[in-house]
Structures are given as C-alpha cells and as structure tokens.
C-alpha cells in the first residue's frame, strides 16, 4: 500500500508541477493525491529566555510521526551548511520526523550514494543541497521511480523532472544587494571616478553562482560601460572570475595573481566584488599579504563568523545575511504540506527552470548586513551570541 501511495504521489507531483508553472499563482497544488493516511497534529509551545534576554520559541508536534526525511548537505567545510543541517535536523525532529542527515565532503559520488541510501532506507521525502546541481541524475531518477518527492534546498537540482519543489533565498537579489551597496557607497551617479574594481564569483557547478554574479553585475554594468568603473584585470565574465567549489584558497590564489600582475605598481583597487564570504576571505587574505594601497570595498554573503568579525574590524564592508533558520522552517513546512496533501507554500513559479521543468519555488528574502546593523540582525535575533563574534 505504501509503495502504491508513493508511486501515485510521484505521478500527482508531475501534474501539480505543471499546474504550478502555468498557473502563475502564489501556491502549487496539493501533492499527495489519493493517500488515505490520516495525520493528527498536536503542538506544544515552550518559551525560554536565554542569558541575553531574547526569547526563543520551540514548537513540537507529531505531524511527522512515522515519517522519515533524508537531508543531504554538500560539505561541513563551510559554516553555513553545518547550520543548515543542524537547523533542519532539529526542526524536523521537533515536528516528529525521523531524520537521516548526511554531509558529502564536497564529493559528488559520495552525495549520490548517500541519497540513494536515503531512498533505499525508506525516506518519505529527500531534501538536497547539491554539490553540483547537474550531477545527481541517477539518485533523482531513483527518487522518481520510488515515488519519493525531492525538495531542492538552496541550490537548484538541474536537468531533471524529479524535482518537486525548490526552497532558497532570492539569489538574483543577493547579487543586486551587493551591487547596490557598491553603487551607493561610491555614489557612482555623482562621483567623478574612475574607480578600480575586481570580481570574484562562485562555483560554476552551483546554479546559484550565476544568479549572484549577474545580479551584482547588472547593477554595475552601466558604470563599467561608461568607464566610471574600471576592471583593471579585464576579467569580467563569469567564467573568468568563477571560483571552483567556492574554495577560499582558490579565491586567494587568483586574487594574489591579479594583485601581482595588475596592482604591484601601486595602483589602488577600490572595490572587490565577492559573491560570498568564503571567497571574500580568500581575497582578504591575499590583500593582507600582497597589497599596500587603499583598502577596497569588499562584499560577501552568509555572515559567517570569521567574516562578520572582519566586518567589525573594517576588513570586509558588508555581507548578505541569509537566515538559515528561516529556510529550514520553510522546508519543514513544505515537507509537511507535501506529505499531508495540502497546498504547498510557494511564491515563485516562473524563475527557476532547471533545463527540463520550471520548479515551483519558495524564495526567502536576503537581508543586507554591515558593521552598523550586525548587532540588530545577528545578535538581537539570536543568530549569534556576542561572545561568538569576539
Ligand atoms: C549558497 C551560498 C554559499 C555558497 C557556498 C551557495 O549555493 O547559496 O550561501 O555561500 O553556496 O557554499
């Protein structure tokens, strides 16, 4: 019976995905079709006050009782995925689900087999933050044939019709927030310029990376074309400025090459537009050892602890804050909706085409952070304690 329900669910999902793409509305249709399982949900809310005086609310329920969710994360190397995994695990457990959380050490084969094991092990839904969005086809095929719905987490899963939903932050907007920060800080509409700028983008295997870069570049492009911004290295296409696996050391060595080739004569770099914090850190390391000019504006994303400390010390200008708690809560909510056959909460049914289908998506809002507002958005919200940033 369970197999039948799952297979039926898969077929229903395919129909509802199409309806979600064409309908243009704010929600995608229910997805469990003829499931006869009844779910009873009870919730208890406990409120506790931590030392800093902020109030934390934990809601527990048994909505997930008897259901298992697989959560596949790319790596433990970057702070954010540890937070994402921990938040997902605790929120799912609080809702009564059994959780199979795995990290894949940035190794695509490892991620493939971890997901296959989740499906073989009876997971009812699989949530995947892909290392390489295009490389998980075999596992996605298996999910589809087993009738297991798949939620793409933060990064879109490409070239497959087995992706049921996508939950992420508005990735293009992350880039426009970075570009707009540069535009406003330099007052590009009024200042005489010209200003020197370099770009460092993300991993070509991550569908998000192009959105971030394009969002930032689109804001700055008119000023590059008019000559007010001068890309001294000449490297301004995504392929030229990308950073495989988002690795700090790779961003650092490219920045070192640029500094020694184009800035060793005392030329100042006024802006280094970095797509995220791990790459910004590489650029910051390179500047510390190889540059004596005026310190540039540096952008980032994630508000990682080390980068937030650098913001406080003036070594990084801003970061885009993506509250991983918000994303985890949204995905847990969508999981419950999928499994109970109610309408799944999405707010974008047109942006994220994965090469085969347009995946119904929920986009969370990214927030701008810098040394002036970090206390409010990172400490007062309980994301970090003050001690963690010392
Ligand atoms: C995420 C970013 C992160 C980057 C590197 C992207 O897919 O959206 O938040 O900085 O991967 O892990």
Q: How far is the CA of 208 from the centre of ligand 1 (A)?
A: 7
Residue 59: band (very low, low, confident or very high) from pLDDT cuts 50, 70, 90: low
Q: Is 301 in the pocket of ligand 1 (CB under 6 A)?
A: yes
pLDDT digits (tens, 9 = 90+) for 89-143: 999 999 999 999 999 999 999 999 999 999 999 999 999 999 999 999 999 999 9
Domains of the chain (ranges; CATH) run: 68-170+323-364 (3.40.50.2300), 171-322 (3.40.50.2300)
Q: What is the pLDDT of residue 10?
A: 36
Q: How far is the CA of 276 from the centre of ligand 1 (A)?
A: 7
Q: Is 80 in the pocket of ligand 1 (CB under 6 A)?
A: yes
Please check whether residue 351 is in contact with residue 210, taking contact to mean a CB–CB distance below 8 angstroms.
no
Please check whether residue 41 is in contact with residue 97, taking contact to mean a CB–CB distance below 8 angstroms.
no
Residue 169: band (very low, low, confident or very high) from pLDDT cuts 50, 70, 90: very high
pLDDT digits (tens, 9 = 90+) for 227-256: 999 999 999 999 999 999 999 999 999 999
pLDDT digits (tens, 9 = 90+) for 278-298: 999 999 999 999 999 999 999
Q: What is the pLDDT of residue 51?
A: 33
pLDDT digits (tens, 9 = 90+) for 3-41: 333 333 333 333 333 222 222 223 333 332 222 222 223
Residues across the chain: 390
Query: What does pTM read for this prediction?
Result: 0.84
Q: What is the pLDDT of residue 64?
A: 83
Percentage above 90 pLDDT, the chain: 83
Mean pLDDT (the chain) is: 87
Q: What is the pLDDT of residue 267?
A: 98
Q: Which of 219, 255, 216, 253 is nearest to 235 (CA)?
A: 255
Q: How far is the CA of 213 from the centre of ligand 1 (A)?
A: 12
In the numeric block, which tokens belong to residue 293? 């000019």
Report the C-alpha gap between 45 and 43 in whole angstroms. 7
Question: Does residue 309 have a pLDDT over 70?
Answer: yes
Report the C-alpha gap between 361 and 170 in whole angstroms. 10
Nearest CA residue ID for atom 10, ligand 1: 276
Q: How far is the CA of 281 from the centre of ligand 1 (A)?
A: 14
Q: How far is the CA of 162 from the centre of ligand 1 (A)?
A: 23
Please check whether residue 202 is in contact with residue 162, taking contact to mean a CB–CB distance below 8 angstroms.
no
Q: What is the pLDDT of residue 200?
A: 98
Ligand 1 atom nearest to CA at 154: 8
Q: Is 78 in the pocket of ligand 1 (CB under 6 A)?
A: yes
- Residue 130: phi and psi, rounded to 5, are -75, 145
Residue 63: band (very low, low, confident or very high) from pLDDT cuts 50, 70, 90: confident
Q: Is 270 in the pocket of ligand 1 (CB under 6 A)?
A: no
Q: What is the pLDDT of residue 62?
A: 79
What region, left, alpha or beta, does residue 234 occupy, with left being phi > 0 and alpha being psi -120 to 50 degrees?
left
Residue 356: band (very low, low, confident or very high) from pLDDT cuts 50, 70, 90: very high
């Amino acid at each position: 019976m369970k197999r039948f329900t799952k297979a039926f669910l898969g077929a229903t999902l395919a129909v509802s995905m199409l309806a979600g793409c064409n309908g243009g509305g704010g929600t995608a249709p229910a997805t469990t079709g003829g499931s006869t399982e009844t779910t009873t949900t009870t919730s208890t809310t406990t409120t506790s006050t931590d030392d800093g005086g902020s109030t934390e609310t934990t809601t527990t329920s048994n909505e997930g009782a008897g259901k298992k969710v697989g959560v596949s994360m790319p790596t433990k190397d970057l702070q954010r995925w540890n937070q994402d995994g921990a938040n997902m695990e605790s929120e799912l457990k609080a809702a009564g689900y059994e959780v199979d959380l795995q990290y894949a050490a940035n190794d695509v084969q490892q991620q493939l087999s971890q997901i296959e094991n989740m499906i073989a092990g009876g997971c009812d839904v699989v949530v995947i933050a892909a290392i390489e969005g295009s490389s998980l086809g075999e596992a996605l095929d298996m999910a589809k044939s087993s009738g297991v719905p798949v939620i793409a987490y933060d990064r879109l899963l490409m070239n497959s019709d087995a992706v049921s939903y996508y939950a992420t932050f508005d990735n293009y907007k992350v880039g426009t927030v970075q570009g707009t920060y540069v535009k406003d800080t330099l007052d590009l509409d009024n200042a005489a310029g010209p200003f020197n700028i370099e770009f460092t983008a993300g991993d070509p295997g991550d569908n998000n990376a192009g959105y971030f870069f394009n969002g930032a570049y689109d804001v700055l492009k008119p000023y590059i074309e008019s000559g007010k911004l001068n890309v001294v290295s000449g490297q301004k296409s995504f392929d030229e400025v990308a950073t495989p696996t988002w690795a700090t050391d790779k961003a650092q060595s490219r920045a070192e090459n640029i500094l020694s080739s184009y800035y060793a004569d005392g030329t100042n770099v006024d802006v280094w537009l970095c797509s995220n914090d791990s790459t910004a850190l590489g650029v910051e390391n390179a500047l510390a050892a190889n540059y004596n000019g005026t310190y540039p504006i540096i952008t980032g994303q994630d508000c990682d602890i080390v980068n937030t400390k650098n913001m406080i010390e003036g070594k990084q200008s801003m970061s885009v804050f993506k509250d991983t708690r918000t994303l985890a809560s949204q995905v847990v909510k969508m999981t419950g909706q999928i499994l109970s056959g109610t309408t799944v909460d999405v707010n974008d049914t047109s942006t994220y085409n994965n090469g085969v289908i347009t995946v119904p998506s929920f986009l969370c809002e990214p927030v701008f952070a810098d040394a002036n507002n970090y206390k409010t958005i990172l400490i007062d919200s309980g994301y970090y304690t003050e001690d963690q940033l010392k």
